[in-house]
Amino acid sequence: MKRIFIALKIDPEVPLLKIISSLKSDLIIEKIKWTSIDNIHITLAFPGNTEEKDIEIIKAMLTEKCEGFGKFELIIKGAGVFKNLSDPRVIWVGIELSEKLFQLNNVIIKGLRDAGSNIEYRPFKPHLTIGRIKYINNKTALKTYTDKYQNTEIQRFQVKEVILYESILKQTGPVYNPICNFKL
């Protein structure tokens, strides 16, 4: 059994790297688990713990659904926190709304359900998690961050493939190993 998820890999460019670096610097004394730059991605679906035989079914489904879907561009734009500014849990950078991204997500979720996966329904909120907050004192710095980048275009990138990952949880943080790539 493997803990799996389906995602789009993001290669952060200088503007995004500067924002992350600046935020880390401003919040250096806070208890935040920062996402490794190598692990930045947009999650499309999280099937979770999955048997090997079911992974093969998911791979076949992804091959079918991704083939011919077509490449598209996304814009990293905006910033915020999940739960809320009074009780923040996750620091994120946003993705501008994209019809193609929502279509891809819908096709994959439907494909997983048709393949027998019991994937739970969650509204799709595309974002890049950059930090998970354990405890924070300086909520003002978070508000400054969200206000500053609320409507700012940070980076554009081409979506050319979907990746099926295995997530291995370790004390030092998760390790994401690509199982298979699916060209669009």
Phi, psi values for residue 4, rounded to 5°: -120, 160
Q: Does 34 participate in catalysis according to the annotation?
A: no
> Strands, E, within 35-137: which ranges?
41-50, 72-84, 87-95, 127-135
Phi, psi values for residue 107, rounded to 5°: -60, -40
Which member of 2, 27, 32, 41 is catalytic? Answer: 41
Q: Does 127 participate in catalysis according to the annotation?
A: yes
- 14's tokens: 């200088």
C-alpha dihedral (79, 14, 128, 160), degrees to nearest 10: 130
Rounded (10°) angle between helices 99-114 and 52-66: 140
Which member of 2, 9, 77, 127 is catalytic? Answer: 127
Positions marked catalytic? 41, 127
